[in-house]
């Protein structure tokens, strides 16, 4: 076999192996419930708990509650907008996208609407 044949076989094998892998996205199971999310804020790991129904999300962070509206774009993406923003920065909506789900956790990415920079995180569903 010549070099072209080896490369062709290699790329075909890679294509076959990677096309079989499918990311699990059971987003419907994560539309409602109580969730926890941990993030690094400065040098400290902080935990946020949030309760979500189909159209409202209440976040509990450092002893304070904050309510946001939710508008679902599709089963795995939604827009979050603060109900009572306290400043200009809080008036900006956040685009959330569930990337994958497994058991009681989901991986997600988020960004301010209109901004290209995205962040990622993991949320855990702790109750219905």
Q: Which tens digit of pLDDT belongs to each residue from 26-38?
A: 899 999 999 999 8
Examine the pLDDT at 6 and tell me if it is beyond 70: no
Buried b (16+ CB within 10 A) or exposed e, 28-67: eebeebebebeeeeeeeeeebebbbeeeebebeeeeeebe
Report the distance separating Cα 70 and Cα 99, nearest Å.
18
89 located within any domain: yes
69, two tokens: 């509206």
1 located within any domain: no
Report the distance separating Cα 81 and Cα 70, nearest Å.
7
19 located within any domain: no
For residue 17, give the DSSP letter.
H
93 located within any domain: yes
Q: Which tens digit of pLDDT belongs to each residue from 47-105?
A: 999 999 989 999 998 889 999 999 999 999 999 999 999 999 889 999 999 999 999 99
61 located within any domain: yes
How many structural domains does the chain have?
Answer: 1
pLDDT of residue 99: 96
pLDDT of residue 38: 85
CATH code where residue 100 lies = 2.40.128.490
pTM: 0.77
> For residue 43, what are the domain limits?
24-127
3 located within any domain: no
As a whole-number percent, the residues of the chain with pLDDT over 90 amount to 63
2 located within any domain: no
Examine the pLDDT at 12 and tell me if it is beyond 60: no
Classify residue 76 by burial, with Cβ atoms within 10 Å: 0-12, 13-18, 19+. buried
15 located within any domain: no
């Amino acid at each position: 076999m010549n070099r072209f044949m080896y490369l062709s076989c290699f790329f075909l094998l890679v294509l076959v192996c990677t096309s079989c892998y499918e990311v699990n996205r059971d987003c419907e199971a994560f539309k409602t419930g109580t969730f926890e999310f941990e993030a690094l804020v400065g040098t400290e790991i902080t935990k946020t708990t949030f309760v979500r129904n189909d159209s409202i999300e209440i976040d509990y962070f450092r002893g304070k509650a904050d309510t946001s509206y939710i508008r679902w774009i599709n089963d795995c993406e939604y827009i979050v907008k603060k109900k009572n923003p306290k400043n200009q920065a809080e008036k900006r909506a956040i685009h959330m996208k569930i990337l994958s789900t497994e058991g009681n956790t989901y991986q997600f990415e988020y960004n301010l609407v209109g901004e290209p920079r995205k962040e990622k995180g993991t949320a855990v569903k702790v109750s219905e």
